[in-house]
Structure 1
Amino acid sequence: MTAYLNKNTLLSVLMALVTLLIIYRITPVTVDPVLELVISKNRVGINSINQQRDITNTQKVMVDILNIAEQNRFKHPKLGELGYGTDFFVDVETTFTVKKAGSYHFLVGSDDGFKLIINDRPLCQFPGSRPLAVQTCAIDLTEGEHVFKLSYYQGFGNAGLKVEYRLAGNNSRYWVGQNSSFLRFH
């Protein structure tokens, strides 16, 4: 046993550990690509979700869930800061399948404004600027496939967007993008 525990063996183990740490640090963070965020930088300041857009740049980012409100920034818990610092729009469009029909609540937390549309029906919105606040948007959904569309804007200052859902009468809440026994996102 002591024949294997010499300086060369210890040095080899130490080098292997250092190599693994380096690989871990340089490997980019990834999440399941469930939702596509289309993030568009606006040329001028934004003060309403309904104002005309004047886009200069657009980027697309894939995320697993709509929880992008870390430390008062437009920041994903794993991917870090997304988007631009100020004056940008974010559009999300996805389909989801309802496994259990019923009344659903979508809880939209935003800093600044947003507009939520399901099946081409405007459900709720907060058009102007505000600090992070949550608004409950209720809709009756049948079993089957539905379309989720969300537009959000960030003007200046603090930022954040988080959207959860729950079946009415059930206390369990899930992030939009997170599958449950009620909804499945595509």
Structure 2
Amino acid sequence: MFKKLVKKVIQHKSPLDAYRYHIDNVNENVISGWAHKIGDGNYTANIEVRNNNVILFTTKANIAREDLKAAAIGSGQYGFSIDPTKIKPEQDVNTIDIFIDGLKANAKPLPLTLSATKQKEPKQESVSDELSAFGVSVSQELQRLTDEISSQNGNAVNVAIENIASLSVRVEVIEQILTKHFASK
């Protein structure tokens, strides 16, 4: 009976098992590491820094690392490096979590102290600028997807499947931003 239980526990797979990754540093100077989706050499993982499941910062794991290349981990372009001073939480933070494509990568919260920034009343211009920048990024993403569909001989289903995780994370981020913006009105 005990052997069957151990076998079940060992065979249980997590969605994070699709990745090789490492969190190198979490301190007041840098949050860094790497993430590679196994079997997908060109895929760029989405990295999020969260506190209590609130996204504080998002970036891509797309920095070239010679150590990964030397270890034959794809092209080696899977590193990430975040300057913690760029993270501006609304409340003081004492711990963070690192998420890879929406999947929590650390077992226990990582200690990092970030001080809250005082929120100024957003000006109409800044909202307009944000919407304009968002429109540009949507256009760039549509062009990237169009190019990818073309490179796969019009196989839109394959491209959609390959990009669904990244797109769902982006939609979640957009939803949180819009909810936060309109909740203050």
Q: Which has the higher contact order (CA 8 A, sep 6+)?
A: 1
Tell me, yes or no, whether TM beats 0.5: no
Q: Which structure would you say has the larger Rg? A: 1
TM-score (norm 1): 0.26
Question: Normalized per residue, which structure has more strand?
Answer: 1
TM-score (norm 2): 0.26
